[in-house]
A and B are shown apart, each in its own frame.
Chain A
Amino acid sequence: MNVKRLSRIALSLAAALTVGQAFAATRGGQMTFGRYADSLFLDPVLNDANLDIWILTNLYDTLLQPTNDGKGVQMGLASSYTTGKDGKSMVLTLRAGLKFADGSALNASDVKWSLDRARNPEAGAWNSSLASINSIAVSGNKVTLNLKRPDPTLPAALATFNAAIMPQKLFTAAPGKNDAEKAKAFAEKPIGSGPFVLSEWKRGSYMVMKRNPYYWKKGDDGKALPYLDSVRFEIIPDDNTRILKLQAGELQIAEFIPLSRVAELKADSRLNMTLFPSTKVSSILMNNRPKLNDGSENPLSDVNVRQALNYASNKDALIQVVTYGNGKPMKSYMSSTTPLFDAKQPGFPYDLAKAKALMAASKYKNGFDVTVLATSGSADDLALLTALQQMWGAVGVRLKIEQLDAATKTARYRANDFQMRTAAWTNDINDPSQITSYYTLFDNIESVHTGFKSAEVDKLFAQSQQELNLARRTAQYQQIQSIYLKAAPIVYLYETPYPVAMSKKVKGFFQIPLGNNLFASAYLDK
């Protein structure tokens, strides 16, 4: 038997096994998931927090869905879509026989009503993602979006939680004088179009989502998803308790495992310690303005200083100290999992000699004092900043740490009353436009309050928001990332994954780079 034939047999065997496994999904049962905190408000349009966003799509489905790798979109409630030749319209075709979790029909009119509500500029914080829509028309199972301009972000926007399709009749029948009051009432026991429906919620303690028997998507066995009968979220704020409960078999999944415990849990033969790729980037935001709020001179306004601090930061060492080796250096302001991330970006590799040369070229040859705002009680912030104190000391920068609780830190930041602060970001949409508009556009919260301003970036961004040609849009984003890197308004630190520990019985669960926890294809192996 020659090698070729042998490998063909091996491949066929492997394929057969994979297929066999694919059809071996077990149906039924309850999966118990330990969350660090409870959801707040289960309305797709009016919510404000990841605690809601990261589970919402299990309850409310969208026309399109993000792909698991975070790079694109796949079909959801819509079975297909086409874009007009001029790029100023989009026609979506709904799947036949769609139903909400109560068995009532999901029609094109529900889609129009949901999208009109989501794009209302007076409603919620997310409406700008659908701002290009001028009007919506429906006919049969077709939904036509007439646009003000071509919008390359629209498919991703339609795959985002706020564009979820809700039942118009049930929502409008909910008690309340206006949309906000109706949303409060409806979100107590929402009926949606996702794979699950909320069946019980004892706030602060647990939440149960049971299987939506009318969900459209089919599993590998040809029957409707989800495989599980229900998912139970247990709220366990303490990391140690969450892990103990998992190890004792009282939970099947525990989220937000501290990175310091990843290695230990990887060694536990009963568990699958999984690091899901994320869009999370951690950086230090710097105030780039020439003067601080108190009128004093700001050394961080000097680009040489900002670059020097970037080069003086030993990312590999920081990754070891703070993330216990579970991170990788940031190369761009956006994560490497974000579409149109430019893999050729150099980032700021550790180079003390270069850092010293840059400091020497600046107005601050003898160094300076600088204060960074940290979140009180955050062990990660303290570990990071004490390490940076040493690293930056080598170029004469004396770092002081001011610890504040999150709300105070945000208020100071919003008032531009800071020199530096620790910050982290995750994307909500599978497109680079969200993080780019926040980090690089002065018009949108003053470039994450750094004060960074670039007419060239503004122009490139505006073009990219109408550019349907992928190659040209990619080139625009390459330029934006390069300009931003050169100006170094932030200290580039690291990307970290989502650490989730699971019993070995858990299969098919996925946390996508945006953070959404997906249970539709999850099951418990026998």
Chain B
Amino acid sequence: MSANKTGRRLSKQSLNGFINYGIVILAYLVVQLMISQGLMSNSLQSLLVPVCCYVVMAVSLNLVVGVSGELSLGHAGFMSLGAFSGIIVSVTLQSVIELAPLRLFLSMVVGAVIGGIGGVIVGVPVLRLRGDYLAIVTLAFGEIIKNIIMVLYVGVDEDGLHFATSEAALNLSEAGTAIVKGPMGAVGVVKASTFTAGILLVLLTLLIVQNMVNSRAGRAILALRDNRIAAESVGISVTKYKLMAFVTSAALAGAAGALFGLNYSSTLASRFDFNTSILILVFVVLGGLGNIRGSIIAAALLYILPEMLRNFDVSKYRMLIYAIILILVMLATNNPTIRGFFLQLRQRARERKGGQAQ
């Protein structure tokens, strides 16, 4: 490959990256403008923060599934870790730090750290496995995380944090509060999440993921995905690079979880189950494996549109339609005839463009 060609490819990649930042910033400005003009309904406004969360979830999962090529079925588990640790931090610091954005920031940092630690704990053993075995183990870890949080009680009083498996066993003093109450989840959370914080997290996620993909590590990860044995034989460490992608992804999911948890006054562990992991996986697959922009758009659209069209009275058939479309999309995108057709269209367009340039 000539140096010239490599340079062109890289610049195209970074251009792509800049377009992604542009899209996010533009979306932010448009939304702010609409809010200031009173053009945005309450229901749309309430979706802004969760959309940011799911975008971050989708982009970070794409790093594992699309870029690193490992199927993970437990991504919601890391979101859960982030959500609950973020909530605990926020409630604990409630009286110490008055400034909500700072509290949110600290919560997200802790959420990311806990998510990342979870990523290491899951990743080290899991990444020794391959393919479908890896998928089932991530599923298992996701379920274990959910199970444990569902029996965990956490409270805080002047002595610090208490952990137990029942409310009575927390032994809180009079002034103490129970933050997480097992199956009842976390209740009485003071909301701190804002759309601005969400957008900043999305931008940060893009910055991390895109730089990682375009870096030396990213190329190593791609090489491992495309041909593990060949990559290993030129001295690329499988564990190191796969773990790097996995832990980064888990940490970002943790931060998104903290943002999500602090956007509602109550959060249940059962929300972060296998179905949520699958939902995020669907965002990634429909947006295109390895395609960051696709993940952003798919997550945003698929999350907003159902809410926007609540007035259509087909609720009964909703999931059925979803299922059929899911199957049809998979069949269509993998159908050689249809793919050939679009490829041809594209080629023709390129030819025309080339002709004009000349």
Answer yes or no: are A and B bound together in one complex.
no
